[in-house]
Amino acid sequence: MSVAYLEKLNPEQRRAVEHGARENDAAPGTPLLVIAGAGSGKTNTLAHRVAHLIVNGADPRKILLMTFSRRAAAEMARRVERIARRAIGDNAGVMTDALWAGTFHGIGARLLRDYAGEIGLDPAFTIHDREDSTDLINLMRHELGYSKTENRFPAKGSCLAIYSRCANAGLPIEDVLATSFPWCAVWAVELKQLFAVYVEAKQRQNVLDYDDLLLYWAQMVSDPGLAGE
Ligand SMILES: Nc1ncnc2c1ncn2[C@@H]1O[C@H](COP(=O)(O)OP(=O)(O)OP(=O)(O)O)[C@@H](O)[C@H]1O
Ligand SMILES: [Mg+2]
């Protein structure tokens, strides 16, 4: 098959794109970590790799392309389609539409909806973005009377940042406060109560915040049965 669509890549990029192909040393499926600087062609290389896999018969439904922002994810998917179209024509669109491309949170949400029934989650869950989450935690902060404390209780943004750090790092609040938010350390007891009420409110309203999307997903795939599917 013609590989004209790979000719503009430099040798390092091309090696990354073709890694795992039969003519290379690496066995198919061997992981590859590429570290490269800003503007060095990372997205370009990834897009070519995905297109190359699809052109060579890989099942696009088994390709997962993840990045941080929606814009970057859309850009990646668009580039994959353009390259694949150049190589195999108009059929490329159907193929590239089938691949999984998105943000970490978007992919997490999609998997959680698909498998909600199996992990005891209502599939109609609502997703709170950072702003919604800040509003909800602020509401709880008011309800507990913490917005009127004499010595100023941490602001809503700090409360969410602390909660998020605890959830993501899997660390007790005392540790997180000591290492990252020492000026809030005197409020450990109150923050703990705030977080408990916040979690309860999320569950009552069938809401997942951004941290939950990643946490629930991680928990889901730690079950070998579900991970295998
Ligand atoms: N082998 C190449 N030959 C010519 N131009 C290239 C090559 N690889 C990448 N480029 C060009 O360099 C620019 C940056 O590429 P790309 O966006 O893929 O880099 P990146 O590492 O993802 O950048 P960022 O760090 O901003 O995400 C683009 O205009 C791209 O078309
Ligand atoms: Mg990039």
pLDDT score for 201: 97
Cβ pair 119, 226 in contact under 8 A: yes
* Binned average pLDDT, 10 residues per bin, the chain of 229 residues: 83 93 61 94 94 92 92 93 92 90 95 94 95 97 91 94 94 97 96 97 96 94 89
Task: Tell me the best of 40, 44, 50, 67 to mutate to test the pocket of ligand 1, counting ligand atoms within 8 Å of each CB and taking the most.
Answer: 44
Cα separation, 50 vs 57, in Å, equals 11
Ligand 2 being an ion, which residues bring their Cβ within 5 A of it? 42-43
pLDDT score for 229: 77
pLDDT score for 37: 96
Name the residue at shortest CA distance from atom 16 of ligand 1: 41
What is the full DSSP assignment across 114-127? Answer: HHGGGGT--TT-EE
The ligand placed nearest to the CA atom of residue 73 is: 2
**147 Cβ closer than 6 Å to some ligand 1 atom:** no
Residue 9 CA: nearest ligand 1 atom is 1
β-strand partners of 55: none
**9 Cβ closer than 6 Å to some ligand 1 atom:** yes
Q: Which one is the CATH code of 4-111: 3.30.2420.10, 3.40.630.10, 3.40.50.300, 3.40.50.720? A: 3.40.50.300
Instruction: Please report, for the chain, the start and end positions of each structural domain, with discontinuous segments joined by +.
Output: 4-111, 126-221
pLDDT score for 24: 52
pLDDT score for 181: 97
**180 Cβ closer than 6 Å to some ligand 1 atom:** no
β-strand partners of 67: 103
Residue 39 CA: nearest ligand 1 atom is 23
pLDDT score for 150: 80
What is the full DSSP assignment across 32-48? Answer: ------TTSSHHHHHHH
Ligand 1 centre distance from Cα of residue 43 (Å): 7
**71 Cβ closer than 6 Å to some ligand 1 atom:** no
**38 Cβ closer than 6 Å to some ligand 1 atom:** yes
pLDDT score for 3: 81
The beta strands (E) that lie in the chain are given as 64-67, 100-103, 126-128, 207-209
**42 Cβ closer than 6 Å to some ligand 1 atom:** yes
Answer whether 0.85 is exceeded by the pTM. Answer: no
